[in-house]
Structures are given as structure tokens and as C-alpha cells.
């Protein structure tokens, strides 16, 4: 009922919405700090290779599955498997996707809440002239306060639920159309500022100069894992957005546009952040605190730092928000179709479940910090379980299904590619061999880490 009739109002809106889903905390919070931790250029180079040989082909595969099935990820996979006389067990791809998006949103929304809180701090001028110690203290106090984390997490969830409950065109589409361009504009402004710091070439050098001695096996694995997370692959989000794609749209062109834009934003974020870090004589390898500890120190000491800090955190909120919408939608669509529920009801029921689980994630930074399994807090577990296990597994199954189980003619029909086209041959090669082998490799390594 729901998905078969829902459509984006144009192909470009789809590209924008999917890019909004892909661009998020992964690009602006995670990418710069894992690049910093892994020494820069060599890591970036490997990440780009992963994006091209695994990420792009899988993006095409997920969109084509979604558009072919035109239902929620579970029903889509079941329909396609049965239609081509394959086992209905392939619907596990959809189930895994929904579970991943449910779990990811439960912690993503907590971190998105941090960005909202930091926007308020920046507006209030709380970083101005603060000592590094005071800024670190501010962060520690913040995450030690369960009520603050819960309040911001709740706010993010309420707005996300509300927008999703308004529908695909009236809710998600409008929100993305309003937010994404502003986000890009703010990012460009910040890059402009970074150019003026005088440390832009240092940032550029750090990001692009490949020093392979700095890259270990762990870094290489992180590069591949991050390619999944940043492109929102295997969570059902892209498949779901693909289900709303008009039939005449070119999936290949759309995928290239989404992947290029996502990668472009990640690189621009690096180019905005590292020059600011270097200009203030701070270190690039600060880890997850790079955005919440190192940058505020820089904002506190630069000209118009209050303004730049505010713009930076607003940009982060907007980027995170277009991703939370994409994370909620697949589960909501599933609920609507499975229980014939109204969209509003589905959004509030599913959203409340995610909110509840999010409470556990928020508390794992303070009251429940001692609750650990295999030495990890609930938040760390949810992050590892999804990014290192569930997403690679989902991606592997998608590649195997599309590469070996779905008739090639069906894929090519959706992709609008002729059989002997070179792009088509590379794509099939990736689905059948390159992506599965690469994923099995990180999957095994990730199991070792857990
Ligand atoms: N790709 C998003 C980011 O980089 C996160 C995300 C994952 C969003 C999965 C939707 C689905 O932040």
C-alpha cells in the first residue's frame, strides 16, 4: 500500500535525499578523526579505492533491488527471491537491514544530540577564550550528565519522527530540500575560512600526501568498514529510498552522483577541519574528541570564533538530521505494510522503540558505564556490532544475491545498461568477486576485534 504509490517528485530529489542520507556524522565527525588517527593521505587513498570498487557497485545494486521490489526491504527481498525461484531466506537481507538501521539510529541520535547541544554552547559563546582544560571539562561534564544526553536525544527523535510521519514527499523530501543546500553552503564557507588561515596547504598535504608507513592493517580495515557506513549501505535506507525512485531515472548516474557528493563532502570536511586544527597548533590525531574537544579549543581562540563555531555545529546538526530521517524510514515503511498501520502511528511506535533503546546508549556514557560485555559499553557494542558485523554481512549477502542469484538480464534492465558495456562488466565483476572477497576479509578481521 504505502511504498508502491510513494515517489520522489523528481530524480534529482532522490539524489539529494540519498546524498543527505549518506552525508552525516560519518563524514564530518568520523572521517576526519579516523583519517587523523591513521596518518592521513595513505588512509584516504585506500578509502577512495574501497568507495570505487565496493561502495559504488553496491550502491547501484541496492537501488536497483529497491526499485525493482518497490516495497519495504524485507518484502522487497522476499518478492524478488520468490519471483526468481530462489529461497525466501534471502529476505534476511531486509531483516538485517532493518535491525541495523534500528540499532544505528538508537546511538546515532544520541551523538546527533551532542551536536545540537554544542550548537547552543557555541551560540552562547561558551568556548570563547576558554582554556583547553575547561573545554575538555565541559565535554566530560556533558557526557556524564544522563539528563542532558536524554533531553537532546529525545529532541532529535521527536523531530525525526514528526518529519517521517509527514510522508515521503511532504516530510522527508521537504526537510532534505531545505536542509541539505544550507549544509553544503556552510561547509563551503568553512572551507573558505580554512583557506584564509594560512594553513590550508598543511591540511591539504595531510589529507592527500600518502605516507604508507603510517597505515597499519587496522587502518586498512577501518577504511573499508567506513566506506559502508558513510554510504549508508546495507541498512535498508538506500534500498528504501530506491523504492520511491521514478522508473525512468538512471540508477548508474544517480549512484555516481551520490557517491561523488558523499566523498566530496568528507574531503571538504577534512579540508575545513585540519587547517583550523593546525593553525591553532593542535594535533590531528585526537580521536573521537576531535570535533567536540579539539575544534572548540580552536573556535575559542580565533577571530569571530563564536560565529564560526556556531556555523560549524549547525552544519553538523543538519548533516546528522538528514541521516536520522533515512535511518527511521525503512522500519516505518515495514511497519505500515506489515500491520496496515497509518504512517503517523507507525512512525511514533517504531520511533518510540528506538528512543527507548537510545536511552540505554545515552546511559552507557555515565550511569551504566560499568555495564560491559566483552569489555565494551552498550554504545560501543552497538557501534561495533552494526558497523563491523551487520553492515559487512548485509553487503556481502546483497553482492551474492545480485551477483549470483538475480538473473543478469533483470539487473541490466533496471540499470539500463547493455550487456557488453564495459561499465556493466566491471559492475558484475565487483558483485560476483571483488566485493564479496573484500567484505569477507574485513568481516573476519572485525570478528577478531570484537
Ligand atoms: N551515512 C551516514 C553517515 O555518514 C550514517 C548512516 C548510516 C545513515 C546508515 C543512514 C543509514 O553519517
Q: Whose CA is nearest to atom 9 of ligand 1?
A: 232
- In the reported structure, the alpha carbon of residue 238 is separated from the centroid of ligand 1 by a whole-number distance in angstroms of 10
Please state the rounded mean pLDDT for residues 375-384. Answer: 88
Residue 2 has pLDDT above 50, yes or no: no
- In the reported structure, the alpha carbon of residue 30 is separated from the centroid of ligand 1 by a whole-number distance in angstroms of 11
Which of 22, 103, 266, 288 has the most ligand 1 atoms within 8 A of CB, as the residue to mutate? Answer: 22
416: Cβ–Cβ under 8 A, 6 or more apart, which residues?
Answer: 250, 251, 252
* Ligand 1: nearest atom to the Cα of 31: 4
* Ligand 1: nearest atom to the Cα of 22: 1
- In the reported structure, the alpha carbon of residue 112 is separated from the centroid of ligand 1 by a whole-number distance in angstroms of 12
Please state the rounded mean pLDDT for residues 134-161. Answer: 95
Q: Among 77-81, 136-140, 212-216, 263-267, which is the least confidently predicted range?
A: 212-216
Which string of b and e fits 411-434 if b means at least 16 CB within 10 Å?
bbebbebeeeeeebeebbebbeeb
What residues line ligand 1, using a CB cutoff of 6 Å? 21-22, 24-27, 101, 104, 229-230, 232, 235, 237, 323, 326-327
- What per-residue confidence (pLDDT) applies to 303? 87
State the chain's mean pLDDT as an integer: 91
- In the reported structure, the alpha carbon of residue 429 is separated from the centroid of ligand 1 by a whole-number distance in angstroms of 26
Query: Residue 447's pLDDT band (boundaries 50, 70, 90)?
Result: low
Which of 17, 20, 26 has the most ligand 1 atoms within 8 A of CB, as the residue to mutate? Answer: 26
- What per-residue confidence (pLDDT) applies to 387? 83
- In the reported structure, the alpha carbon of residue 220 is separated from the centroid of ligand 1 by a whole-number distance in angstroms of 20
Cα 227 to Cα 273, 355, 370, 418, distances in angstroms: 20, 27, 31, 28
Residue 265 has pLDDT above 50, yes or no: yes
370 against 388, higher pLDDT: 370
Please state the rounded mean pLDDT for residues 79-91. Answer: 95
**In percent, how much of the chain has pLDDT > 70?**
97
Query: Residue 376's pLDDT band (boundaries 50, 70, 90)?
Result: confident
Residue 79 has pLDDT above 70, yes or no: yes
Q: Whose CA is nearest to atom 7 of ligand 1?
A: 232
Whole-prediction pTM value?
0.94
- In the reported structure, the alpha carbon of residue 186 is separated from the centroid of ligand 1 by a whole-number distance in angstroms of 20
* Ligand 1: nearest atom to the Cα of 319: 12
- What per-residue confidence (pLDDT) applies to 11? 92
- In the reported structure, the alpha carbon of residue 229 is separated from the centroid of ligand 1 by a whole-number distance in angstroms of 6
- In the reported structure, the alpha carbon of residue 21 is separated from the centroid of ligand 1 by a whole-number distance in angstroms of 6
Helices (H), 87-173: 92-124, 132-143, 146-165
Alpha-carbon span 16 to 325, nearest angstrom = 13
- In the reported structure, the alpha carbon of residue 322 is separated from the centroid of ligand 1 by a whole-number distance in angstroms of 9
Which of 183, 229, 241 has the most ligand 1 atoms within 8 A of CB, as the residue to mutate? Answer: 229
With residue 427 as reference, give the H or E element that holds it: helix 422-429
- What per-residue confidence (pLDDT) applies to 75? 97
Alpha-carbon span 90 to 207, nearest angstrom = 40
Which of 109, 110, 230, 325 has the most ligand 1 atoms within 8 A of CB, as the residue to mutate? Answer: 230
Query: Residue 4's pLDDT band (boundaries 50, 70, 90)?
Result: low
Residue 1 has pLDDT above 50, yes or no: no
Please state the rounded mean pLDDT for residues 299-307. Answer: 88
- What per-residue confidence (pLDDT) applies to 449? 59
Phi/psi of residue 376, nearest 5 degrees: -115, 145
Q: Among 58-67, 246-255, 365-374, 401-410, which is the least confidently predicted range?
A: 365-374
Query: Residue 18's pLDDT band (boundaries 50, 70, 90)?
Result: very high
Residue 58 has pLDDT above 80, yes or no: yes
Please state the rounded mean pLDDT for residues 170-187. Answer: 95
- What per-residue confidence (pLDDT) applies to 244? 96
409: Cβ–Cβ under 8 A, 6 or more apart, which residues?
Answer: none
- In the reported structure, the alpha carbon of residue 418 is separated from the centroid of ligand 1 by a whole-number distance in angstroms of 32
Dihedral of CA atoms 268, 271, 273, 276 in degrees, nearest 10, equals -150
Amino acid at each position: 500500500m504505502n511504498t508502491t504509490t510513494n515517489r520522489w517528485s523528481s530524480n534529482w530529489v532522490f539524489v539529494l535525499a540519498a546524498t543527505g542520507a549518506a552525508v552525516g556524522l560519518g563524514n564530518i565527525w568520523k572521517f576526519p578523526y579516523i583519517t587523523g588517527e591513521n596518518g592521513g593521505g595513505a588512509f584516504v587513498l585506500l578509502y577512495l579505492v574501497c568507495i570505487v570498487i565496493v561502495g559504488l557497485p553496491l550502491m547501484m545494486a541496492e537501488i536497483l533491488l529497491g526499485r525493482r521490489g518497490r516495497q519495504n526491504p524485507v518484502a522487497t527481498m522476499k518478492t524478488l527471491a520468490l519471483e526468481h525461484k530462489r529461497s525466501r531466506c534471502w529476505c534476511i537481507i531486509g531483516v538485517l537491514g532493518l535491525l541495523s538501521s534500528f540499532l544505528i539510529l538508537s546511538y546515532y541520535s544520541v551523538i546527533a544530540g551532542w551536536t545540537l547541544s554544542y550548537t547552543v554552547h557555541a551560540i552562547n559563546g561558551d568556548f570563547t577564550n576558554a582554556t583547553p582544560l575547561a573545554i575538555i571539562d565541559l565535554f566530560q561534564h556533558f557526557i556524564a550528565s544522563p539528563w542532558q544526553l536524554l533531553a537532546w536525544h529525545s529532541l532529535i527523535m521527536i523531530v525525526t519522527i514528526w518529519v517521517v510521519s509527514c510522508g515521503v514527499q511532504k516530510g522527508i523530501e521537504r526537510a532534505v530540500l531545505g536542509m541539505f543546500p544550507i549544509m553544503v553552503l556552510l561547509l563551503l564557507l568553512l572551507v573558505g575560512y580554512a583557506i584564509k588561515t594560512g594553513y590550508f596547504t598543511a591540511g591539504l598535504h595531510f589529507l592527500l600526501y600518502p605516507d604508507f608507513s603510517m597505515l597499519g592493517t587496522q587502518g586498512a580495515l577501518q577504511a573499508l568498514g567506513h566506506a559502508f557506513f558513510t554510504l549508508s549501505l546495507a541498512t535498508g535506507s538506500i534500498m528504501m529510498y530506491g523504492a520511491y525512485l521514478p522508473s525512468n531515472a538512471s540508477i548508474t548516474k544517480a549512484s555516481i552522483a551520490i557517491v561523488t557528493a558523499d566523498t566530496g563532502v568528507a574531503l571538504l570536511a577534512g579540508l575545513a577541519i585540519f587547517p583550523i586544527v593546525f593553525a591553532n597548533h593542535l594535533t590531528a590525531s585526537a580521536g573521537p574528541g576531535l570535533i567536540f574537544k579539539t575544534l572548540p579549543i580552536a573556535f575559542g581562540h580565533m577571530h569571530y570564533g563564536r560565529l564560526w563555531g556556531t556555523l560549524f555545529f549547525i552544519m553538523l546538526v543538519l548533516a546528522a538530521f538528514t541521516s536520522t530521517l533515512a535511518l527511521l524510514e525503512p522500519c516505518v515503511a515495514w511497519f505500515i505494510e506489515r500491520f496496515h498501520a497509518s504512517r503517523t502511528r507507525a512512525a511514533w511506535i517504531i520511533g518510540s522503540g528506538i528512543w527507548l533503546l537510545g536511552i540505554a546508549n545515552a546511559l552507557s556514557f555515565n550511569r551504566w558505564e560499568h555495564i560491559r560485555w566483552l569489555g565494551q559499553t552498550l554504545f560501543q557494542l552497538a557501534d561495533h556490532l552494526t558497523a563491523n558485523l551487520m553492515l559487512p554481512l548485509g553487503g556481502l549477502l546483497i553482492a551474492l544475491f545480485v551477483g549470483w542469484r538475480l538473473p543478469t538480464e533483470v539487473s541490466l534492465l533496471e540499470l539500463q545498461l547493455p550487456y557488453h558495456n564495459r561499465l556493466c562488466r566491471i559492475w558484475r565483476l565487483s558483485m560476483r568477486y571483488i566485493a564479496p572477497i573484500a567484505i569477507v576479509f574485513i568481516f573476519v578481521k572485525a570478528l577478531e576485534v570484537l
